[in-house]
A and B are shown apart, each in its own frame.
Chain A
């Protein structure tokens, strides 16, 4: 195809959008609605996920050592912990650290004399431990079982109920998100199929004329593809812009009106949300536009 023909088809594709204003508007509106809803559910999902993740990361497993456990054995336990993939981070708390922390937390300045009465005799001499934080609380029980198998481990403290609740909650959110996204995709396919059917009836005569005067399939298809992809691009840019401002506004509103929530919950930064939302929405919009326009003409190319 000549460059002039390519430019002509590109121009015709853009003109088609204008010529079929109502059809174009209906397609853009359908796509905008679907991608916007997808964006809303994705944002809710990612924030819930981050909230659960933050809660998960706060759940620690504590490993205590047998009496008179040598430093070599403690180091070996540390290495064993480090080798586990579910471990996010861990830290060693010595008996002195444990005593200092206890004094600060429970005795404070008011009861400093109680602490002083122990002088150099650490009442928590056996309380040296490893504090372990997981990246996936559902693996907590497996980790605890593993830890009990290690030499020198006296006791392991875990928050079984918290872990189970968080794991169940996470599964529930994943299930709801997948369900909602499947329903949204089904609705989008239904609506887009309807708009495409309207498009077919509007354009069938035009396609037939092109074929009768000897247009090749590629020539017939080109303006439709330009039209479809442009509609797809507009239909995904509009909801993305809306989402950007809506998300920022909600973040500012919550931060201003419900500052107490700030300590419990932090929004996922907008850049992180858009890291996935932007490419997925663009691929969805352009893909639907491309496939929709191909479907519009495919049946009529047989003339």
Chain B
């Protein structure tokens, strides 16, 4: 599903964010990637989204070697990955329904399909009653649920979540994690980058630890 083989990334300024990083995530897994600030976690997400190109090494996602994905093919590639950010990244001038529907419009889905699928996904994240609300009218946890609904709506095989609980209080953070766990139970591979060790310990999932751009630990949850 996701395979990194001796991947390194050095920025133009000479900073080496990732060095000789190798890991393998199987289909249907739920994996936490943990590490301190500056450990290379965000670079890893950017490499997986093909926002960055590795300086060396090989990345294979969904059976596709990212070195062979050209600029024009990036949108097609990203549609198979749902992405969730710490700061939600919702379109502020569009309501909940439109934010989620937008992801389907982007992939040129039929209007009938959009009308059917969006309410279904909103009910999965528990936000159907608030479909007309604007992001600013929602709590942080609700906004993150909209972002998850948007990531889910196109049935991706993988969900990448970059610090999804970073802007949330304890209860909301737990709600989001439970939601991601439910999504994983339905068969979607979930990769969560976080530094919230309390949640990581409680969830008992696989934990990959990154330090100074290298994998220093890879433990199965118990």
In whole angstroms, how far apart are the Cα atoms of A2 and B78 in the complex? Answer: 20
Q: A210 at interface (Cβ–Cβ under 8 A)?
A: yes
| A contact residues around B102 at 8 Å (CB) | 210, 213
**A46-54, A80-88, A214-222, A225-233 - the one binding chain B:** A214-222
> Is the contact region of chain A dominated by helix, strand, or loop, or is it mixed?
helix
Q: A111 at interface (Cβ–Cβ under 8 A)?
A: no
Cβ 8 A contact of B93, one of A4, A8, A19, A216: A19
Tell me if B110 and A215 are in contact (CB < 8 A).
no
Most buried by B among A5, A8, A211, A212: A212
Q: Which of chain B's residues has its CB closest to A4's CB?
A: B111
Q: Which of chain B's residues has its CB closest to A8's CB?
A: B105
Inter-chain contact count A-B, CB under 8 Å? 48
Tell me if A215 and B106 are in contact (CB < 8 A).
yes
Cβ 8 A contact of B75, one of A2, A4, A5, A215: A215
In whole angstroms, how far apart are the Cα atoms of A216 and B154 in the complex? Answer: 15
Tell me if A214 and B105 are in contact (CB < 8 A).
no
| A contact residues around B79 at 8 Å (CB) | 213-214
In whole angstroms, how far apart are the Cα atoms of A84 and B170 in the complex? Answer: 94
19 A-B contact pairs sorted by A residue (CB < 8 Å): A1-B108, A2-B108, A4-B110, A5-B105, A19-B93, A206-B91, A210-B102, A210-B106, A211-B75, A211-B78, A212-B78, A213-B78, A213-B106, A213-B151, A214-B75, A214-B77, A214-B106, A214-B107, A217-B75
Tell me if A2 and B110 are in contact (CB < 8 A).
yes
Q: B150 at interface (Cβ–Cβ under 8 A)?
A: yes
Shortest beta-carbon distance from A140 to chain B in Å: 63
Query: In chain A, residues 1-18, which have Cβ atoms closer than 8 Å to a Cβ of chain B?
Result: 1-2, 4-5, 8
| B contact residues around A205 at 8 Å (CB) | 89
Shortest beta-carbon distance from A177 to chain B in Å: 44
Tell me if A214 and B91 are in contact (CB < 8 A).
no
Tell me if A303 and B51 are in contact (CB < 8 A).
yes
Given contacts A5-B108, A303-B51, contact A212 B76 (CB under 8 A): no
Tell me if B150 and A213 are in contact (CB < 8 A).
yes
Shortest beta-carbon distance from A206 to chain B in Å: 6
Q: A242 at interface (Cβ–Cβ under 8 A)?
A: no
Interface range on chain A (Cβ under 8 Å from partner):
20 to 34
Q: B83 at interface (Cβ–Cβ under 8 A)?
A: yes
In whole angstroms, how far apart are the Cα atoms of A19 and B92 in the complex? Answer: 10
| A contact residues around B190 at 8 Å (CB) | none
Query: In chain B, residues 133-189, which have Cβ atoms closer than 8 Å to a Cβ of chain A?
Result: 150-151, 154
Q: B17 at interface (Cβ–Cβ under 8 A)?
A: no
| A contact residues around B96 at 8 Å (CB) | none
Q: B44 at interface (Cβ–Cβ under 8 A)?
A: no
Shortest beta-carbon distance from B165 to chain A in Å: 19
Tell me if B105 and A209 are in contact (CB < 8 A).
no
Q: Which of chain A's residues has its CB closest to B51's CB?
A: A303
Shortest beta-carbon distance from A299 to chain B in Å: 14
| A contact residues around B110 at 8 Å (CB) | 2, 4
Shortest beta-carbon distance from A132 to chain B in Å: 67
Tell me if A213 and B83 are in contact (CB < 8 A).
yes
Q: B193 at interface (Cβ–Cβ under 8 A)?
A: no
Query: In chain A, residues 157-212, which have Cβ atoms closer than 8 Å to a Cβ of chain B?
Result: 205-206, 208-212
Query: In chain B, residues 96-123, which have Cβ atoms closer than 8 Å to a Cβ of chain A?
Result: 102-103, 105-108, 110-111
Tell me if B49 and A212 are in contact (CB < 8 A).
yes
Tell me if B111 and A216 are in contact (CB < 8 A).
no
Most buried by A among B75, B78, B85, B93: B75
